[in-house]
Every structure is written in C-alpha cells, then in structure tokens.
Structure 1
C-alpha cells in the first residue's frame, strides 16, 4: 500500500509500505476512505518535525473495516466507521478518574504509531464508532476536530441565549461557529483576517463577521453588545497575538476558552491581562476530544449532529487530493502560495 511518512521538517514522502496486520484480538484493520489535514499536522511539517521519524502521518479519518480480531464485538467487516485517533493509557491517576484528556501519556496515531495518510491503518476496536446510514466519509473524517470543539464547549457553562465570539475561523473556528449555535447561542461573531474564511463562517451560521485587518474587533464587539462584551470568547486561531486579544472580548464575569495552540511565546499587554482580574473572567484551557466513558459523549453527540446536517464539513473543504499529492500540498500551505481551507485526502483517488 501507499503511505505518507514524515521524516523531518518539510520532508514528507509517499512510499510503498506493508499493509498493517492484526496484532491483538481487539485490533481492526480499516481501509481509509477520507483523511483530513489538521492544523497541528501543518505546524509539525513546517516547524516542529516528527514525533517519530518515518511514521505515517495523519489522524482525522474515516473508513471501512476490512478485518477484525477474534474478540471484536462492537463492529464488523464492512462497517463504515469514524475514528477517535487519541488513546489514553487507561492506568494513570487521571485515567482512573475517567479524565482521559488529562492522561499523562496520551497518544495520537500519526505520532508514534502509524496514522491515516495511507490506504489502510490498524486501530484498536474501541477507537471507532459505526457511521450511521446516510453519512458520507468526507463529512465523517471531520469528526475528530469537531469533537475537539464539542469538548471545549462542554468545558464552559454556555446557556441558551448567549453571545459567542470566535477568534480565528480556520477549521476549528468554523466548527466552533456551528457548535455555539447547537449549544444555544443566539448570536455568533466570527473574527479573522481572511475574507475567504469569513465567507465560509457566514455560510455556516455566523451572524456577524469581522475582518480584524480592517477594523478593531474589540470595539465592534463592544458596540454590538451595548458596551458589555460577549458571554463566551473562543480562541481558535492558535496565534500569540489573538491569544492575548481574546481576553478583551468577554463581558464582566464572562468566559474565555482556549482551543487553539500558539506555537510561539504569548506576550500579553497589561490592557488585555488585567481583564482577567478586573472583569473576573473564567479562563479555560481545552485539550483534545476525549472524556469518560471513553471516548466520551463528544463523539456520539457530534455524530448525531453530523447526521442531522447541523455540523457541516463540506463548505470548509477547499482542496480534495490524492495520497500522491500530500507532499506538494503541505509545501504549498507552508509557502502560503494560495488560500487553503480544509484539505481532504482520498486514498482511493475519488471523493466519498
């Protein structure tokens, strides 16, 4: 089979690899139907390099089961499945409490174990959920990032009628726009510096879109909320600047939830930092997409809303590519040659 292996910074190669085999009675082999680029993949390609040199990259995937171990009971050969790529140890203090996102040795496929940028992948059977009838593989491969956002909103105390600002509308931010509405927000404000992203955010339900390159988003948010600010501000850009700026968006007693990861030091001015104290903000970090009982309610909940058409993936997809196109596409994203939204890989060379 073909697989895209990462060897170093800006060094991904599509190579012939052995088809994975069942190793334990609870293993399954999945034929990958669709797999997405994650923002963390892009950072690891351009800045950080691989966790394991030569590992098959990728972790946002859906596929069809082609083989199962003798003790597998939750799925069968031929089932379409969505994949939870994150595996806790199930033994540490946090795992014993069912707090799997806090596991001391959390692993994600595509890091130390081979991932989804391939024709086939081996997984533990507990890491998949059966796809409902009518859900397509392209939409289903967006499950993991959508669950990351769902996990973040479960961390908050969002209520029906709240106003939510989403700072940064890449894929995580676009899922945040949709999930905010699902959780009951009546007004969602999308903020970014790219009009292309804001147009997608509007299509996916944002009530107001602000290009922060043209206007001060803090001022606009204050004006539209009668001078108070939003109930919840989501930082999903993963940018050092916005990681400070987001603190000035909520009202007094409001909430900030960090879903993005800034791959750089964050310098916070007094103007932004003092909002934590003076406005008595709740500041939350949100990591990954799993909880107890594993993989957590994020997964069936997200699957339900995808089936209902209330969490959409297709509008954010700008590039659909084959396995062979992975290296050149990563390089184009790194060089910022053109606008990229969500990139989906189809190992079979056709859309699903």
Structure 2
C-alpha cells in the first residue's frame, strides 16, 4: 500500500512509499480501511521538524485525522465490529496516572499519538487501539467524519469555562479549526461571533461559516473594530488559534473586564507578554488541548448528525496520497482550507 511517511529528521523529509499493509488486528486493536484523512497543524509541525516532532522514531506514517471502515477487530475488542464506520480520536492516554484518574485524560502527560508515536492514517489501512475508535452515525458522511477530531477541538473551546451561549465571541486565526469554531459557537448559541485573520481566503470562508463580522488584521485594528461594534463592553470570550504575539495583544484589548481568553494556538517560539492588563482586567485564561474524552465527541456528533453544523464547505482539496508534497506546501502557504487525502479512491 502507499503511505506518506516522515523518513528524515529536519524540514521536509516526506516520502510516499510502497509499504506492507497490516494484515490483522491483535488483541485490543482494530484494523481500519481509511476513507479520508486530513492534514493537521501537527502534521505541518512535523514537516517543519518543530520541537514536538523530535520525539518521533523515523520512519513513521503520518496522519491522525481519519475516518474509515473497520476491516477486522482483535480477539478482545468489545462493541466494535467489521463494517462499522469510525472516526479516530488522536490521543491515547495512559489511563492510570494522576491526571487521568482526575478525569483529565485529554491532557495526560503520557499521551501517545497516531502519526507521531506509532503509524498513522496517511495510508490505505491503519491499525489502532479500540479505545480511539468512535462509531460514526450514518448521517455523517466520510469526509465530515474525517474532520471530527479537529472539530472536537472547536467544540471543546466553545464549551469550556462559561461556554458561548448568549455571549459575544472573538475567534482569532481562521485556519480549519478556527473556522470550525465559528460554526460551533453559532450552533451553541453565541450572540455574536467576530472572526479575524490576515488571509482573504480564510475570511471569506469565515463569513460562510456564520461569522457576524470578519476583520482583516492587516487592514484594520481588531480592537478598534470590536469597540465600534460592541462599545466599551468588548467581547466576553476570545479564542486564539494564531499563537501570534501581535494577535494576543489585540485580543487582550478587545476582551471585557472579567472575560475569558482561551488559548488554542501553539506559538512557534517564546513570546514576550505584558501581563499587567491581563491582571487588571481580571481575565480568566484557559490553556486548551485536545477534546474531553469522550464528552466532547458526544456533543460534536450531535451537532453534525442533526445538521446544526455542516463542515463540508471547508474541504478545499481532495487528493491521492501521491500528491503529498504539493498538499503540504499548499497547507503551509495558506493556499487551502482543509486538505483531505483519499487513500482508497474517492469517497461517496
């Protein structure tokens, strides 16, 4: 089978290789025939060989945003059977540490990831533990099922803390997950959702996903525009996907006193912050990661299967595995929204 692998340390180092397909699932594992698999920001970090990637043992098949059909289940698997469509959770927590026992398994310090610590889903078939397989209702098509993992981040960011219902929300950074967050926040009852980015393509998509106002941060001040829209009140919640110091400064100015800043974007380097305004405003700052296991999956599934959120317009490219190099370059250069690989041919 073809597979996209990271084969060399350092920037680049991708290879599309013909490798042996897994033949069976052992014990508590599941063999999945991949229908669709999306490029994620983590894949781009690996491509650029960011710090997180250096834990990898190469070569490794990339990909963790995956939907597919179960081909075979291990002898000890309960509740799953061949023929079921599944979407994959990308976090495999240890389940036994202090963090996991407190109900915070989504931030387990011993978490392992498909496509990082073991072979992932940029291939025709993938073997994964039963615990990361989420059964997908028939009302969710394969392409949207492949986006359930990142959509879960957006739902998680919308539900944490005071939530979004009845509140004014600012989403900074309209990559795929930021765009999903716009739709999730609207579906979960946000009063007004304001989106900001520097790419016109993404801002156009933000409007389609339901943003009430879209701000190009290269052309106008986010803070001044928010003030003109909402007055001195500002936004109740700001969710940052950019990881940029300049964006964070504007967000802090735009949040109401006692409001919430939710951090999802990962900065590429250390940044300097003046915390005085954070303190005097009494801001609640939340660092968010992953999805709550599996509460967020339940909420995400409900939003998709009922049609309250439709992610289909986010798919800008559907490509074979052989187009890996071009796909990664497009994603890095902001020439795409969501890129999905279809390893076994076009999904219906």
Matched, 1:349 2:345: yes
1:33 counterpart SS class: strand
CA contact (8 A) 2:24 2:31 kept: yes
Q: Specify whether residues 237 and 159 from structure 1 end up closer, same or farther in structure 2 by C-alpha distance, changes over 3 A only.
A: closer
Residue 216 of structure 1: which of 207, 217, 221 is its match?
Answer: 221
Q: Is the 8 A contact 1:302 1:311 kept in 2?
A: no
Residue 77 of structure 1 is aligned with which of 76, 79, 82?
82
> Counterparts in 2 of 1:1-352, with a 5 A limit?
1-7=1-7, 8=9, 9-22=11-24, 24-48=26-50, 49=53, 51-268=56-273, 270=274, 273-289=275-291, 291=292, 295-334=293-332, 336=333, 339-352=335-348
| 1:158-214 deviation per Cα after TM superposition (whole angstroms, max 9, x unaligned) | 253210000111111111111111222110001111111111111111011111111
Question: Which digits, 9 at most, give the CA deviation of each residue in 1:129-157, with x for residues without a partner?
Answer: 21111311101111111111222223221
Instruction: Name the TM-score, length of structure 1 as normaliser.
Output: 0.93
Alpha-carbon distance change, 52 to 239 in structure 1, aligned in 2, over 3 angstroms: farther
Distance across 2 between alignment mates of 1:203 and 1:156: 27
**How many residue pairs align between the two structures?**
343
RMSD: 1.6
Where has structure 1 moved over 4 Å in runs of 4 or more? Answer: none
| CA–CA separation in structure 1 for the residues paired with 2:164 and 2:212 | 17
Find the aligned partners of 1:40 and 1:123 in 2 and give their Cα distance.
Answer: 18
1:6–1:54 Cα contact (<8 Å) kept: yes
How far apart in 2 are the matches of 1:169 and 1:332? 16
Of 178-187 and 225-234, more deviation after overlay is shown by 178-187
Aligned mates of 1:243, 1:115 — CA distance in 2: 33
SS at match of 1:107: coil
